[in-house]
A and B are shown apart, each in its own frame.
Chain A
Amino acid sequence: MNRRDQILEEIKLVPSLPASATEAVSIVRDPNASLTELEAIIECDAGLATNILRLANSAYFGGRGSISTVKDATVRLGTKRIVQLVLTTAVAPRIKPPLAGYDMPSGALLAHSVAAAVGAEQLAQELRLAAPDYTYTAGLLHDIGKIVLGTYLNVEAKPILDLAFGEGVSFEEAERQVLGIDHAEVGAELLTWWRLPDDVVRVVRYHHDPYAIADGDGDGIVTDLVHVGDHIGRLCGTALGADGVNYSVSPRSVERLALTPEITESVVGKVLGTLAELGEFFLQTESV
């Protein structure tokens, strides 16, 4: 079995997301489903309900400390937002551990993922674009493939780093050349395995390659937002990995979004405020 097939097999060993998360995602897409069903799913899981209330009460998600029940939360924030919070809660423990291959400490991928999700949404707001509601979800999950690929990267770190930093090859291209697959494709395959919706999977698959999406394609806008959100996320001071900022900015996304340096900088500022609220800190003192 070659390395690529080996990695694709490995994806099937990753435990599925909690049922509450996949059920919530399918309920919000079912026009016949009711709010009560969604509330019931959340209330069945005390840990989930607590986390939902905590996130719902943050300034970013709009509650500002005034939401005390799951019902309140669904009414005030709307079902789409609630499903995003359910998914954030379900995914967070998966992307929080350290990633050896990418040289990322505990919490680093989670912080970057949240920064990219918030970055994609804030960017849409800044550009006055109506972003589909799965923009946040796709942003949050864009790098999920790293939790599988990290193990392989650990073994092949040197050739990948040599290509990326010695020859100026973008990091995902270096992954493809050495491992036969990159973290974007691994992520898309993992999310398919987890039965997440196709539109989210597509954005994750092409987040480093927005050229793959045709102009006028409805998903294109989300791919562009997440592509730029990912870059913005890397500018927000959360711990970066061995890949650093060694990724290309797609001229296609820049053009389609009519991006300017002023816009990116302004969005970075806004994302930083949100991350501060979500409890980021960068400096630590250690004693010898």
Chain B
Amino acid sequence: MKVSSKPEDIIVTYSLGSCVGITIYDPEIRVGGMAHCMLPISRLDPQKAKENPIMFTDTGVPALIQAVLNLGGSRRRLVAKVAGGASPLNDNGMFKIGERNYTVVRKVLWKNDILIASEEVGGTAARTLYLFLDTGRTVIRSGGVEREL
């Protein structure tokens, strides 16, 4: 997880697969951050979740929200975007980690009264996610092509 209040910063997480990348940004005071969470539920390993809450989506997303609030962000202005949550072909539910990561993100954001402004999830492609701190603009690079999220 990274948060920043420097407008010249770009936060990036490379090639998300089943992991989810979440960005939270306050457009008024221009602070924000990004988390890269790998596993849906911290119950899997509470010890590890304590050491590194960002590893798990259910503890990582609240930690990111809190970190942005600590920079002075206001809960009612926060803009959230989500990318990742891919699954392999024909996985028959064996590797539904991506799908569950996304479900948990939605749940945590909903509980915090934050709407998802835009998202690109699922499929089989890897996605690199950028957050530009000057405007809160987010960009996805996937298959050599860049697009706004």
| CB–CB B10/A241 < 8 A | no
**A213 beta carbon closer than 8 Å to chain B:** no
* Interface size bracket, A side: 35 or more
Q: Which of B24-32, B84-92, B106-114 contacts A (4 or more CB under 8 A)?
A: B84-92
Which residues does chain A contribute within 8 Å of B65, judged by CB atoms?
Answer: none
Residue B124 contacts which of A108, A165, A265 (CB distance < 8 angstroms)?
A165
* Chain B binding surface, main DSSP class: loop
**B18 beta carbon closer than 8 Å to chain A:** yes
**B9 beta carbon closer than 8 Å to chain A:** yes
Which residues does chain A contribute within 8 Å of B17, judged by CB atoms?
Answer: 234-235, 237, 240, 244-245
Q: With both chains docked as a complex, state the minimum distance between the C-beta of A1 and any C-beta of chain B, in angstroms.
A: 28
| CB–CB A170/B89 < 8 A | yes
**A218 beta carbon closer than 8 Å to chain B:** no
From 143 to 175 in chain A, residues with beta carbon under 8 angstroms from any chain B beta carbon are 157, 161, 164-165, 168, 170
| CB–CB B89/A235 < 8 A | no
With contacts A245-B86, A247-B89 taken as known, whether A157 is within 8 angstroms of B144 at the C-beta atoms is: yes
From 105 to 139 in chain B, residues with beta carbon under 8 angstroms from any chain A beta carbon are 123-126
| CB–CB A269/B39 < 8 A | yes
Q: How far is the CA of A266 from the CA of B40 in the complex (A)?
A: 11
| CB–CB B89/A246 < 8 A | yes
With contacts A242-B144, A244-B125, A261-B95 taken as known, whether A168 is within 8 angstroms of B36 at the C-beta atoms is: no
**A287 beta carbon closer than 8 Å to chain B:** yes
Residue of B with least CB distance to A250: B90
| CB–CB B126/A244 < 8 A | yes
| CB–CB A269/B44 < 8 A | yes
From 61 to 99 in chain B, residues with beta carbon under 8 angstroms from any chain A beta carbon are 86-98
Q: How far is the CA of A246 from the CA of B124 in the complex (A)?
A: 5
**A285 beta carbon closer than 8 Å to chain B:** yes
Q: How far is the CA of A288 from the CA of B10 in the complex (A)?
A: 7
**B140 beta carbon closer than 8 Å to chain A:** no
Q: How far is the CA of A283 from the CA of B22 in the complex (A)?
A: 12
| CB–CB A272/B38 < 8 A | yes
Q: Point out which of A269, A273, A287 has the most chain B C-beta atoms below 10 A from its C-beta.
A: A269
Residue of B with least CB distance to A254: B94
| CB–CB B88/A285 < 8 A | no
Which residues does chain B contribute within 8 Å of A251, judged by CB atoms?
Answer: 90, 92
| CB–CB A105/B14 < 8 A | yes
Q: How far is the CA of A282 from the CA of B44 in the complex (A)?
A: 21
Interface residues as binary, A178-191 with B (CB distance below 8 Å gives 1, 0 otherwise):
00000000000000
Q: How far is the CA of A242 from the CA of B145 in the complex (A)?
A: 11
**A248 beta carbon closer than 8 Å to chain B:** yes
Which residues does chain B contribute within 8 Å of A241, judged by CB atoms?
Answer: 15, 126
Q: How far is the CA of A246 from the CA of B91 in the complex (A)?
A: 11
**A284 beta carbon closer than 8 Å to chain B:** yes
Which residues does chain B contribute within 8 Å of A105, judged by CB atoms?
Answer: 14
| CB–CB A264/B44 < 8 A | no
With contacts A245-B126, A266-B44, A288-B10 taken as known, whether A283 is within 8 angstroms of B38 at the C-beta atoms is: no
Residue A264 contacts which of B90, B95, B143 (CB distance < 8 angstroms)?
B95
Residue A283 contacts which of B13, B48, B52, B90 (CB distance < 8 angstroms)?
B13
Interface residues as binary, A247-288 with B (CB distance below 8 Å gives 1, 0 otherwise):
111010010000111001110110011001000001111111
User: Which residues of B come within 8 Å of A, CB atoms?
Assistant: 1-2, 4, 8-19, 34, 36, 38-40, 44-45, 48, 52, 55, 86-98, 123-126, 142-144
23 of the cross-chain contacts (CB-CB < 8 Å) are A105-B14, A108-B15, A164-B124, A165-B123, A165-B125, A237-B38, A239-B14, A241-B126, A244-B125, A249-B89, A251-B92, A261-B96, A264-B94, A265-B44, A272-B38, A283-B1, A283-B11, A285-B10, A285-B12, A286-B9, A286-B10, A287-B8, A288-B10
* Given A235-B19, A244-B15, A251-B90, 7 further pairs, Cβ under 8 A: A161-B143, A235-B38, A237-B38, A244-B123, A247-B88, A249-B90, A254-B94
